[in-house]
Amino acid sequence: MIKAILIFNNHGKPRLSKFYEHYNEDTEQQIIRETFHLVSKRDENVCNFLEGGLLIGGSDYKLIYRHYATLYFVFCVDSSESELGILDLIQVFVETLDKCFENVCELDLIFHVDKVHHILAEMVMGGMVLETNMNEIIMQVDAQNKMEKSEAGIAGAPARAVSAVKNMNLPEMPKNINIGDISIKVPNLPSFK
Amino acid sequence: MPAVSKGDGMRGLAVFISDIRNCKSKEAEIKRINKELANIRSKFKGDKALDGYSKKKYVCKLLFIFLLGHDIDFGHMEAVNLLSSNKYTEKQIGYLFISVLVNSNSELIRLINNAIKNDLSSRNPTFMCLALHCIANVGSREMAEAFASEIPRILVAGDTMDSVKQSAALCLLRLYKTSPDLVLMGEWTSRVVHLLNDQHMGVVTAAISLITCLSQKNPDEFKTCVSLAVSRLSRIVSSASTDLQDYTYYFVPAPWLSCKLLRLLQCYPPPEDGAVKGRLVECLETILNKAQEPPKSKKVQHSNAKNAILFEAISLIIHYDSEPNLLVRACNQLGQFLQHRETNLRYLALESMCTLASSEFSHEAVKTHIETVINALKTERDVSVRQRAADLLYAMCDRSNAKQIVAEMLSYLETADYSIREEMVLKVAILAEKYAVDYSWYVDTILNLIRIAGDYVSEEVWYRVIQIVINRDDVQGYAAKTVFEALQAPACHENMVKVGGYILGEFGNLIAGDPRSSPLVQFNLLHSKFHLCSVPTRALLLSAYIKFINLFPETKATIQEVLRCDSQIRNSDVELQQRAVEYLKLSSIASTDVLATVLEEMPPFPERESSILAKLKKKKGPGAVSVTELEDGKRESGELNGGGDRGQDAASTPSPSADLLGIRSSAPVSAAPASAGSLLVDVFSEAGPAAPSGAVNDDGFLRFVCKNNGVLFENQLLQIGIKSEYRQNLGRMYLFYGNKTSVQFASFTTTVNCPGELQSHILQSKPVEPLVEGGAQIQQVLNIECLTDFSDAPLLNIKFRYGGALQNLTLKLPVTINKFFQPTEMASQDFFQRWKQLSQPQQEAQKIFKANHGMDTEVIKAKLLGLGMALLDNVDPNPENYVCAGVIQTKSQQVGCLLRLEPNAQAQMYRLTLRCSKDSVSKRLCELLAQQF
C-alpha cells in the first residue's frame, strides 16, 4: 500500500501532499520535513529507495523517490509494493502531468493544486493503484475538463469575463513570479522519455 | 491540446499565491495568510450567497494554505454544501476538500455520507466515482457501516461501467482494511475472483489489489484465484509488446499487473494442479529468459519495468522454495545484478539474496558471492546499499565463513555510517557468539567491538560476553588477560571498563601470577579509570574492588584506603556512598570465611535465548528478522548457541531433565544487571525467582511426540512431570507438580484450555489442592478423548503464589494426533498398493530437512516406534529407508497413514513423506515429525 505521496521542491517547499493514512496536521508537516531531510541529502546516482524515517512507519516502509530538476516526487510504500514498479508509477505520474499541462513546470503544480489532485486521484485511490495506463488517465481528465467547460459556458461566463479582463495586464504576472527556482522544463530532464 | 488549459485558472487564487511567494519573511507570509483567512471567513459568513465559482476559489485557497502547513478550522460546512451541488466542478472541489482535510472522526461524516449516498445512486458514473473516491480516502467506520453492503453490489453488477468498477474495487479494499468485520463475504466473493478475467486491464489492476488482500485473510475461499492468475500472467508474459497497446509500458507488456499477479501467487503454496503448475513454471522460465535478451530500448524505464517483473518472479521462486533448478537460476541472475551499474538493481539484488540465503537449495550458491558482497560493503557510495550488503553478509554467514565475515564487518564498523552502527554491532555480536568455534576468538571479537564502536555497544552486548565468560571456565583466564591488556590503552571506552571491572573482579586471580599483572597492578589499572566513569560504572567498580579483597587479601589495605576516602564514603550519590560504606564495613568486620562465602564467584547463568538477538528483533520490527529466525531454527543444533557446555549437552542428550531447564522460558531471571540499582543484588545474590510469565512455553512439547513419560517443564521453582497412556481414541494423562523450594505455594490452580476446535477433547480434570507444601508433589489426572483429528494442542495454565509474587505459566500439553495411532502390520505388496491408492497430491505431505541429531539407526527406530506406528521391515527396496503404517483412531473416523523416511547420511538430510487418507493429518504429522530427527 502507498502510505503517502509527497512532492516538494529543492528547498523543501511542499507542492503536493497526499496521505492515505490519517495523521494530524502537525505530524504531516513533520513527515514532510523529515522526508525532505532524508531525501535531499542524497547524491544523484545513488539508489532511489531508502528506509522510511521514524515518523512514517520505520523500517517496514520504504521511501521511493525520483528527482526531476527542481522537484522531488516521493512515494512512501509498504513492503507489499514492488520498488521498481513504484518508480515506473512515478514516471507515469510525471508523464501524465506533462501531457496535461504541456511541459509541466513547478508553477503548474503551485497554481493548479486542485488539478494535480484530480490527476493523482485517477491513478491512486485510498493508497492503492487504480490505473497505470496513461492514455486512460488522460482520457478521464479530459472528460472532466469538458464537463467543467460546459458548465462554465453557462454559469461561469461573467466570472470568466472578469478574469479575462484582469489578465490582460499580462506583463505584471512574470514580475510576481520568482523565476529563479522554477525552471523545470521537461526536455532538460535526463531520465525523462 | 493540453488536458488542462492554463488560461482559465482562477485569477484571485493566482494573485494570492503570487503574494505568498513574494513574501520576504515567514512573518509576512503568516500575516498575508491570516488576512486571507479573515477575508474568506467573512465571505463564508456574509449574507450574500456565494456563487459556485467563488466557493470553489475560496476552497482552493484554503487547500493551498493547508498545504503550507497551516491549520484550517473552518470551511468544512461550505465544502459539504458543495457536495450536493448539481454542478460537477463544485461537487469535485467539495470532495477534494473533504478528502484532504476531513479526518475520519469528524462530526460532519453523517452529512457527507448523505451526499455520498445520493451520488452513489445517481447512476452518473462520474459522480459515483467521486463518491467512491471519497469513501476510499476517508475510510472511516461510519462510512463502512453505511456503505459496506452497497459497494460489493456495485462492484459485481453487470451494468456497472469499467471506471466505476475500478473505483469500487479499491473502495471496498479500503473498507475491508479499516473494518473487516463489516465487509461480509457473500455471493459476490466468487464473482470478484473472476474479475481477474475481465476484458479491461484497468479493472484487473484494481481488482487484483482487492483479491490479494482478501486472499491473505481468507486463503481457502479465494483459492480459485490461483489458476486464474496463472492463466492471466501466462497470457501477458507470452504476448508481444504491441498486443496490449496502452498497457504496454516502454515495450514491456503490462508490467504493473504482472508484478501484482506474481505477488498474489505469493499468498499461496505452489499450485497443486499439475497443468497449472506447469504453465506457471513456464512463465517463470520465460521471465528469466527475457532477462538475458538484449533490451528493446535503451531507456531506463524499459529495464526498470522488465526488472520489476523479474524481481517479483524471483520472489515467487524463493517463496515456493521447491524448484532447485529455478532457485539456482534466480541466484545466478541476482549474482549478475550484484555487479550491475544501476544502483537500484544492486540494492534490490542484495535484498532478494537475503531471502534466498535462507533456502536450503540456494544457501551454498549465495555463499559464492561473498567477495562481491564484501566489496559492496566497502565501496558502495550509497548507505542504503551498504546496509543491504551488511544484511546479506549476516544472512549468508555460517560456520565456514563466520571468521571472514565478522572480520569484514568489524573493519567496516570503523567507518560505518552512524545510522547503522548500532545494528551492525548487534549483528557482529550475534554472529560471533553463534559461530564461535573457540571462545578466545569470541572474546577477542567482542572486545574489539567495544574498542571500535564502544558508543554503539548496548548493555545487552556486554552483559552477554560476561554471561558467556562466567559460564565457560576454559575461557576465563584468556578473557582476564585480554581485558587486562585492553584496559592498558590510554583511552578506553567505558563499556570496556565495565567488562574489565566485572571480569577482573571475578577472575583476576587467574592472571595474578604474572608480576606484570599482579593484584595491585590490576587494581591500580582499574582505579585509574574510575574518575572518568559514570555513576553506574563506578558502582560496578566498587563491587569489583570488594571482590578483589576476597581474591587478594594483600590488596585489602589499599582498597580500604580508597573506600575510606571522602570522595567515596561521603559521595553525594546515594548508591555509591552506600556501597562504599557497606563494603568498607564488610571488609573490616567479616571473617575471611564469611567474605569468601559472600563474595563467592558468580554461579553460571541459566541458559536462554541471547538477549542480543531479542534486541535485534525488537529493533528491526517483527517482519524484518524472519530470515534470522529461519536460520536459527535451521542451524541451531550443534552450535555454541547457548553459550555454555550445558547448551551443547542439551542438544545431544535425550535426558529431558537436562534440557528442560527453561532454556527459552520467557521468564528471565534477573541475571544481567539491569540498572545501577540492581547491581548490588547481582554481585551478591544468586539469581532470584522467575518472574511471572504469560507466554506459552512449548519447549517440552516436541519432546513428547515420540514418548509418553518424562519431565515436561522445570524451572527454579517447579517441576512438572508427565505419565500418559493411550488406547484407541482414549487417553489418560497423569500430571505431577513438584515444588522444588522449601516454601509453600499458595492458591495453586491449574486450568486446561482447548483452543478452538479442540473444545471437547479433555473429558475431565479434577481440580488440584490449592496448597503445595515445600518439597511436596501433587498429582492431577486428565482423561482425554479424541473426537476428530486436530493440530492444536491443549494449553495448561498454572497459577500460584510464591513468596507473595504471582506466578503464571502456560504450557502446551503434549497431546498430539499420533498418540491415537494403532500400529498396522502389512506386507510389502499391500503397502505399495495402499501407497498408490493415496496418490492425490493433497494426501501427501513431504519435508526435506537437515538432521538435528545423530543418524543412528537404533535411535531412529525407537523414535518411529514411539510414534505409535508399526515399523515395517523388508518393504522398501532400499534397506536404508524406513516405512511405517498405522491407523489413527478418532471418535468420528479412522485415518490410515503411511510413512516413509529416507535418510541421506552423506548430506545429513532426511526426506520424510506421509500419505494419509485425510490431508490435514498428513500435514500435521509431517510438521510434528520433521522436528524429531
Residue B469 CA to residue B904 CA, distance in Å, equals: 38
| Structure confidence at residue B365 (pLDDT) | 85
Residue B98 lies in a domain: no
**SS3 for B372?**
helix
Place B735 in a pLDDT band, splitting at 50, 70 and 90.
Answer: confident
Residue A166 lies in a domain: no
| Structure confidence at residue B650 (pLDDT) | 34
On whether both B845 and B737 belong to a single domain, the answer is no
Residue B712 CA to residue B811 CA, distance in Å, equals: 9
Residue B166 lies in a domain: no
For residue range B439-459, what is the model confidence (pLDDT) as tens digits?
Answer: 889 889 988 898 888 888 888
Question: How would DSSP label each residue in A102-163?
Answer: TS--HHHHHHTHHHHHHHHHHHEETTEE----HHHHHHHHHHHHHHHHHHHHHHSHHHHHHH
For residue range B284-307, what is the model confidence (pLDDT) as tens digits?
Answer: 999 999 988 888 888 888 999 999
CB of A163 less than 8 A from some CB of B: yes
Residue B617 CA to residue B624 CA, distance in Å, equals: 8
For residue range B334-383, what is the model confidence (pLDDT) as tens digits?
Answer: 999 998 988 999 999 999 999 888 877 788 888 889 999 999 888 888 88
CATH at B806: 2.60.40.1230
On whether both B752 and B848 belong to a single domain, the answer is no
| Cβ atoms of residues B716 and B740 within 8 Å | yes
Residue A161 lies in a domain: no
Residue B165 C-alpha from the chain's centroid: 36
For residue range B40-64, what is the model confidence (pLDDT) as tens digits?
Answer: 888 888 777 777 778 888 888 888 8
Residue B211 pLDDT exceeds 90: yes
Q: Give how far Cα B474 sits from Cα of B645, B773, B827, Å.
A: 10, 40, 55
On whether both B799 and B822 belong to a single domain, the answer is no
**SS3 for B609?**
coil
Q: Mean pLDDT over residues B486-513, rounded? A: 89
On whether both B742 and B875 belong to a single domain, the answer is no
For residue range B6-49, what is the model confidence (pLDDT) as tens digits?
Answer: 445 678 888 888 888 888 888 999 999 999 999 988 888 877 77
Residue B862 CA to residue B859 CA, distance in Å, equals: 5
| Structure confidence at residue B170 (pLDDT) | 94
Place B655 in a pLDDT band, splitting at 50, 70 and 90.
Answer: very low
Residue B803 lies in a domain: yes
Domain of B566, in residue numbers: 442-613
Q: Which residue has the higher pLDDT, B621 or B892?
A: B892
Q: Give how far Cα B375 sits from Cα of A44, A174, B385, B540, B746, Å.
A: 21, 52, 12, 41, 62
Residue B151 CA to residue B148 CA, distance in Å, equals: 6
> B805-812 and B696-697: which strand pairing?
parallel
Of A84, A89, A144, the CB nearest to B311: A84
On whether both B807 and B842 belong to a single domain, the answer is no
**SS3 for B58?**
helix
For residue range B911-930, what is the model confidence (pLDDT) as tens digits?
Answer: 888 888 888 888 888 888 88
Burial class of residue A115 (count of CB atoms within 10 Å of its CB; 0-12, 13-18, 19+): buried
DSSP 8-state secondary structure symbol assigned to residue B604? P
Taking an 8 Å cut-off on Cβ atoms, the answer to whether A82 and B263 are in contact is yes
Minimal C-alpha gap between B167 and chain A (Å) = 7
Residue B308 CA to residue A83 CA, distance in Å, equals: 7
Residue B212 pLDDT exceeds 80: yes
Number of C-beta neighbours around residue B336 at 10 A: 12
On whether both B738 and B809 belong to a single domain, the answer is yes
Of A47, A99, A191, the CB nearest to B343: A47
| Cβ atoms of residues A59 and A74 within 8 Å | no
Q: Which residue has the cell 527556482?
A: A181
Domain of A59, in residue numbers: 2-145
Residue A99 lies in a domain: yes
For residue range B518-532, what is the model confidence (pLDDT) as tens digits?
Answer: 888 999 999 999 988
User: In B573-644, which ranges are continuous DSSP H helix?
Assistant: 574-589, 592-598, 611-624, 626-635
Taking an 8 Å cut-off on Cβ atoms, the answer to whether A151 and B88 are in contact is yes
Residue B624 CA to residue A51 CA, distance in Å, equals: 12
**Which of B52, B76, B100 is the last residue before a domain boundary?**
B76
Tell me which residue of B601, B606, B598, B600 sits closest to B468, measured CA to CA: B606
Q: How many domains in chain B? A: 4
Residue A190 lies in a domain: no
What DSSP element (H or E) covers B871? strand B870-872
**Which of B613, B647, B672 is the last residue before a domain boundary?**
B613
Phi/psi of residue B771, nearest 5 degrees? -115, 130
Residue B58 CA to residue A33 CA, distance in Å, equals: 27
Of A14, A22, A110, the CB nearest to B104: A22
**pTM of the predicted model, to two decimals?**
0.65
Place B117 in a pLDDT band, splitting at 50, 70 and 90.
Answer: very high
Phi/psi of residue B277, nearest 5 degrees? -60, -45
Q: Which residues 81-120 of chain A have a CB within 8 Å of chain B?
A: 82-85, 87-89, 91-92, 99-102, 108, 110-115, 117-118
Q: What does pLDDT average to over chain B?
A: 81
Q: Mean pLDDT over residues B623-645, rounded? A: 37
| Structure confidence at residue B389 (pLDDT) | 92
Q: Which residue has the cell 547420511?
A: B905
Best of A114, A170, A175 to substitute, by most chain B Cβ atoms within 10 angstroms, is: A114
Who contacts B787 (Cβ-Cβ below 8 Å, separation ≥6)?
B729, B760, B761, B890, B891, B892
For residue range A83-114, what is the model confidence (pLDDT) as tens digits?
Answer: 999 999 999 999 999 999 888 889 888 888 88
Number of C-beta neighbours around residue A54 at 10 A: 10
What DSSP element (H or E) covers A51? strand A49-51
| Cβ atoms of residues B242 and A166 within 8 Å | no
| Structure confidence at residue B610 (pLDDT) | 67
On whether both B781 and B854 belong to a single domain, the answer is no
CB pairs under 8 A between A and B: 220
| Structure confidence at residue B285 (pLDDT) | 94
Residue B385: list chain A partners with CB under 8 A: 46-47
Q: Which residue has the cell 500439553?
A: B813
Residue B903 C-alpha from the chain's centroid: 31
Taking an 8 Å cut-off on Cβ atoms, the answer to whether B255 and A85 are in contact is yes
Taking an 8 Å cut-off on Cβ atoms, the answer to whether A133 and B201 are in contact is yes
Taking an 8 Å cut-off on Cβ atoms, the answer to whether A88 and B206 are in contact is no
Number of C-beta neighbours around residue B429 at 10 A: 28
Place B634 in a pLDDT band, splitting at 50, 70 and 90.
Answer: very low
Name A75's bridge partners: A5, A64
Query: Which residues of B are documented as binding site?
Result: 11-12, 43, 53, 57-61
Who contacts B282 (Cβ-Cβ below 8 Å, separation ≥6)?
B234
> B745-753 and B762-765: which strand pairing?
unpaired
Residue B425 lies in a domain: no
On whether both B459 and B474 belong to a single domain, the answer is yes
Residue B361 lies in a domain: no
Exposure letters B409-419 (e unless 16+ CB within 10 A, then b): bbebbeebeee
| Structure confidence at residue B587 (pLDDT) | 87
Residue A135 lies in a domain: yes
Q: How many domains in chain A? A: 1
For residue range B890-912, what is the model confidence (pLDDT) as tens digits?
Answer: 877 888 889 888 888 888 888 88
Minimal C-alpha gap between B166 and chain A (Å) = 6
Taking an 8 Å cut-off on Cβ atoms, the answer to whether B308 and A50 are in contact is no
On whether both B718 and B848 belong to a single domain, the answer is no
Residue B109 pLDDT exceeds 60: yes
Of A121, A131, A191, the CB nearest to B205: A131
Of B21, B246, B621, the CB nearest to A59: B621
Residue B206 pLDDT exceeds 90: yes
ipTM confidence score:
0.81
Number of C-beta neighbours around residue A111 at 10 A: 20
Q: What does pLDDT average to over chain A?
A: 80
Catalogue the long-range contacts made by A173-177 (C-beta closer than 8 Å, 24 or more residues apart).
Answer: A173/B18, A176/B15, A176/B18, A176/B19, A176/B21, A176/B22, A177/A107, A177/B18, A177/B21
Cell of B515: 608480576
CATH at A45: 3.30.450.60
Minimal C-alpha gap between B788 and chain A (Å) = 38
On whether both B803 and B822 belong to a single domain, the answer is no
- The most confident of A177-191, B667-681, B713-727, by mean pLDDT: B713-727
Place B106 in a pLDDT band, splitting at 50, 70 and 90.
Answer: low
Minimal C-alpha gap between B215 and chain A (Å) = 14
- The most confident of A129-138, B715-724, B750-759, B822-831, by mean pLDDT: A129-138
**SS3 for B759?**
coil
DSSP 8-state secondary structure symbol assigned to residue B772? B
DSSP 8-state secondary structure symbol assigned to residue B715? -
Residue B126 pLDDT exceeds 70: yes
On whether both B579 and B457 belong to a single domain, the answer is yes
| Structure confidence at residue A170 (pLDDT) | 41
**Which of B613, B638, B653 is the last residue before a domain boundary?**
B613
Minimal C-alpha gap between B136 and chain A (Å) = 5
